[in-house]
Amino acid sequence: MDTQLIEVGQRIRSHLPAEMTQRGLAEAVGMKPDALSRALSAQRGFTLSEITRIARALDADLTWLLTGAPNPHHLEFAARHAWDPQRKERSNPGARDDAQILDRIADLYRRAFPGSVPASGAIPADPQGVRASLGPDFVRTFAESIEATFEIDVIRMAGLSTDYSLRIGERGIIVLNSNPSWFRSNWSLAHELAHLALGHHDGSRHPVKARENDADAFAAELLLPAEQIRAHDWSAMSESELTQVLWTLGVSTRALLTRLRFLEVAVSAEAGAALESSTPALLRGAPDPLDGARPNRRAVADRQQQASSQRFPLALVEALTARVESGEADPGELAFVLGVDIEDVLTTFEVEEPETEAEAVDRLLDDPAHRRSTPALGAWLESRQQA
């Protein structure tokens, strides 16, 4: 009996959802139950069409089903789902449109790293371990700290309806929708990092509600650790003191208020009233400087600008640049990543644009040697020119 066929059958069985029977899988992929049973038992092989349909039905990686090895470019993603208070459930209504952007990002990585995408480092599975790895005041340079510590890429770009975390092969990637709400961006970074740390991209079917709740709990303890929150005297806290704490933590008034209520921490009337304000308004009007000698409005604007700007990781930019310089990648992809016109890339790297068919015809027609050496070629060129 073929050992490889036995292992393929074992992997298919291991990936069957709890609610799907073997007969249900056969119906889903258009196979007779007896044929599927014999194939799973290695009494017959799978056709390429059958195994492809099975991979699609099980939402499994085809390379893994066939070989047991991960596809170096396989894409798994998790999204930050919004809470719908009317339907009492989490949803991601923009998933279909977002998929086009995520596919383009995945394609960028495949072009930049055609062999395999470099793997990320290990992430502690608990928020305390992540805080210890990132070091103090990591929120000020959150994206850069994540990349330097865990080799997880952070991308910011416009057009997404929500935020995502991906795994392409063994590389972790966080994709954020760029917007001026830097405090929301910090929470999304922590939330998506939690998805990666908790193994929500391993191909198994984690229920959305449980997955989102676990990621939120992880993010709360990462950004607002209970021990650090309880170390403050909230019952006597002034609005000025609150703004300093809020600025240092890098979260919104809503997130902080929710955390305080969860931890059952009583706050002063002054701090409680301030927490009902919008985050930017509260910080801009703070009586004391938030960030050195800079005016508070400028300090807030700086964080807003960083969260709003397009950002691609240096590892990707470096790899794409090298492949454009060697003529192995499309300059347009690098232009997209850098946010510049393609002419700037062509000029900077002295890359020649591909010759069009019309330009090739004109060039050959201008060379009498081509016309004399091959009369048929000359006639064809003239017909193309006339067309």
Among residues 30, 78, 81, the alpha carbon closest in space to that of 56 is found at 30
| pLDDT value for 368 | 60
Per residue in 94-123, pLDDT (tens digit) is 677 888 888 899 899 989 999 889 999 999
Q: Which helix (H) or strand (E) holds 165?
A: strand 164-168
Q: How many CA atoms lie within 13 A of 358 on its CB side?
A: 2
Q: Which helix (H) or strand (E) holds 83?
A: strand 82-84
CB burial string 347-369: b at 16+ within 10 A, e below:
eeeebeeeeeeeeebeebeeeee
Distances, alpha carbon 168 to alpha carbons 69, 102, 110, 196, 368, in Å: 14, 11, 9, 12, 52
CB proximity list for 190: less than 8 A, separation 6 or greater = 218, 219, 222, 223
Per residue in 212-250, pLDDT (tens digit) is 899 999 999 999 999 999 999 999 999 999 999 999 999
What percentage of the chain has pLDDT greater than the value 70?
Answer: 82
For the chain, the 3-state helix, strand and coil shares in percent, each to the nearest 5, are 60, 5, 35
Strand, coil or helix: 161? coil
Q: Could you tell me the two tokens for 47?
A: 């056709």
Strand, coil or helix: 318? helix
Where are the domain boundaries for CATH 1.10.260.40 in the chain? 3-67
Place of tokens 């014999």: 38
Place of tokens 């309806």: 161
CATH number of 3-67: 1.10.260.40
Q: Which residue has the higher pLDDT, 350 or 384?
A: 350
How many H-runs (helices) and E-runs (strands) does the chain carry?
A: 22, 6
Q: Is the pLDDT score of 251 beyond 70?
A: yes
C-beta atoms surrounding 154 within 10 Å = 22
Largest CA distance in the chain: 96
201 within 8 A of 174, measured Cβ to Cβ: no
Per residue in 141-199, pLDDT (tens digit) is 999 999 999 999 999 999 998 999 998 888 999 999 999 999 999 999 999 999 999 98
Residue 200 pLDDT level (bands cut at 50, 70, 90): confident
Q: What angle do CA 202, 204, 206 make, to 5 degrees?
A: 105
203 dihedral zone (left: phi>0; alpha: psi -120 to 50; beta): left
Residue 83 pLDDT level (bands cut at 50, 70, 90): very low
140 within 8 A of 120, measured Cβ to Cβ: no
What is the mean pLDDT of the segment spanning 45-68?
Answer: 82
Instruction: Look at the alpha carbons of 232, 233, 234, 237 in this order and tell me if their dihedral is positive or negative.
Output: negative
194 within 8 A of 163, measured Cβ to Cβ: no
Per residue in 270-304, pLDDT (tens digit) is 999 999 999 999 999 998 999 888 899 999 999 99
CA gyration radius, the chain: 27
How far is Cα 211 from Cα 234, in angstroms, rounded to an integer? 31
